[in-house]
Structure 1
Amino acid sequence: MGFGLIVVGDEILSGRRQDKHFSKVVELLGARGLQLDWAEFAGDDPPRLTATLQRSFAGKDIVFSCGGIGATPDDHTRQCAAAALGLPLVLHPEGRRNIEERIRETAREAGREPDFDAPDNLQRLKMAEFPQGAELIPNPYNRIAGFTVGDHHFVPGFPVMAWPMIEWVLETRYAHLFHAEAHEERSLLVFEAAEAALTPLMEALQRDYPGVRVFSLPSVGDAQTRRHIELGVKGEPAQVTAAFAAMRSELERRGAEIGPV
């Protein structure tokens, strides 16, 4: 079981809006000793989004989906989630009560009685239509809930709403996973080296230390920095310590020029 993220919206793919969810979800997971395993961006095309969700539901990962759960014509995530699961959309009773309370409050602030049958208010109620059997994710910003089906959690695209909702899901449903596997990462810089020359060392480290993953991040250099590769290991702390020491020792034996990150 891993963690995945789906960010929905044509505005992201067209560049009209810059995604902010990816880095925040990485931060929220990392603060709990967890990490993001994959991420996808999807537009507002219903067949493509349905296919994406069908594939995601077929897996075993914990998935957060941000965006597209409103009630305007370009919001399709609720409908696509239901189609991907082969379930009907139904009006969630508690979700309806939350929206009606919001309508009531807005009317009172304007000094009038709420008209629940007004077309715009009937449209708002569509935001409480979820796949049959879905559970609510409370929205502390305006009480218009997101929803959960299994280990898939759907929240709005607005960061002010989405991020506390994702935190609530993590704290409520997955606290038993926090720091379940301690994670550490250590790296150094290797100057003027070719990745191909370092590949045998990387392969040997992964073979000898199965609790770690080796990574390399090359830089071609510029006027301020020399060409280098950030070479490192990450994973279970004890094995990371041993693997890093072995890596450094082998680089020194080769006479490689190394330095701190």
Structure 2
Amino acid sequence: MSEAAPETPNRVVTAAVLLIGNEILSGRTKDANLNYIAQRCTDLGIRLTEARVVADDEAAIVEAVRALQARVDYLFTTGGIGPTHDDITADCIAKAVGRPLIVNPEARALLEAHYGDQINPARLRMARTPEGAALIENPVSTAPGFRIDNVYVLAGIPKIMQAMFESLAPGLVGGAPLLSRALEVDLPESVIAAVLTDAQASFADQLDIGSYPFARGGGFGVSVVLRSTDSDTLARGLATVADGLRNLGGRVEERT
């Protein structure tokens, strides 16, 4: 993995993911890209705040890009930059950001060098970007992604998408990494709700507390996940919640 980018510790840096493709919505393709991007954003101190899936439809893609781009620091899209007629992401991004779509000279040179005399109009479609876009390296199959403003356009094939993401990761500037610790308790959510509510109120916006019920091996319980950018706050919050759960008679264990 690439090293984390420099941090901006006093600000929450945000991102969104836009997954593009009819094949995802139909169930034909099981998406693996969102999970990867979410994990890497966490590594880099970037808070993923939203993800959407849209069809290969121009109006839907343009609307989603404009809406998400306006409220996050980074918007990552996956899918729809291949050589076929239904790969319309480049066209839609150009429309969304108000730039003409061009055959990018640098991208064209890369593809011509890679394909040689096998280059054809379909393959040259993958050289199209909005005017002014910077290329994102594709060390797997050469055809590049691109960045325009705060929109990063990546491939849909997971292996290629991951390689593209790692090529751009050193340039992503994150905030303080979000740390997390987790407890498991053998009590239902309805019993522990007041403890979690009181703990959240005590720490306000310094700490996020989430509860996630589980059923396992004939038993049940709740995983309580605490998140903060400050390790001391996280430790104090964990102790507060653990004490409250034990006072209810629960068996409490910390989980990694």
Q: Does residue 1:186 correspond to 2:185, yes or no?
A: no
Q: Does residue 1:59 correspond to 2:48, yes or no?
A: no
Moved more, 182-191 or 9-18: 182-191
Q: Does residue 1:21 correspond to 2:33, yes or no?
A: yes
Q: Which residue of 2 aligns with 1:213?
A: 208
**Residue identity opposite 2:90 in structure 1:** R
Q: Which residue of 1 aligns with 2:234?
A: 240
Q: Which residue of 1 aligns with 2:157?
A: 158
Checking the alignment, whether the CA contact within 8 Å between 1:64 and 1:166 is kept in structure 2 is: no
Residue 196 of structure 2, aligned match among 186, 199, 202 = 202
Per-residue deviation, 1:78: 0.6
Per-residue deviation, 1:34: 4.2
Checking the alignment, whether the CA contact within 8 Å between 1:183 and 1:237 is kept in structure 2 is: no
Matched pairs, number: 241
Per-residue deviation, 1:255: 2.5
Could you say what secondary structure the match of 1:65 adopts? strand
Checking the alignment, whether the CA contact within 8 Å between 2:62 and 2:93 is kept in structure 1 is: yes
Q: Partners of 1:201 and 1:232 in 2: how far apart?
A: 13
Checking the alignment, whether the CA contact within 8 Å between 1:201 and 1:247 is kept in structure 2 is: yes
Checking the alignment, whether the CA contact within 8 Å between 1:214 and 1:234 is kept in structure 2 is: yes
Which of structure 1's runs of 4+ aligned residues deviate more than 6 A? none
Per-residue deviation, 1:80: 0.8
Q: Closer, same or farther in 2 for the Cα pair 1:10/1:206, shift >3 Å?
A: same
The aligned runs of 1:33-182 (5 Å cut-off) are 33-104=45-116, 107=117, 121-171=120-170, 173-174=171-172, 176-177=173-174, 180-182=175-177
Checking the alignment, whether the CA contact within 8 Å between 2:16 and 2:72 is kept in structure 1 is: no
**Residue identity opposite 1:240 in structure 2:** L
Unaligned runs of 5+ in 2: 1-12
Q: Closer, same or farther in 2 for the Cα pair 1:131/1:182, shift >3 Å?
A: closer
Percent identity (aligned): 26
Q: Partners of 1:45 and 1:34 in 2: how far apart?
A: 29
Q: Closer, same or farther in 2 for the Cα pair 1:187/1:141, shift >3 Å?
A: closer
Q: Which residue of 2 aligns with 1:2?
A: 14
Could you say what secondary structure the match of 1:227 adopts? strand
The TM-score normalised by the length of structure 1 is 0.84
Could you say what secondary structure the match of 1:2 adopts? strand
Unaligned runs of 5+ in 1: 108-113
Q: Which has the higher contact order (CA 8 A, sep 6+)?
A: 2
Q: Does residue 1:258 correspond to 2:249, yes or no?
A: no
Residues 135-170 of structure 1 deviation map (CA, whole Å, 9 limit, x = unaligned): 111111232111101121101112222111111111
Q: Which residue of 2 aligns with 1:111?
A: none
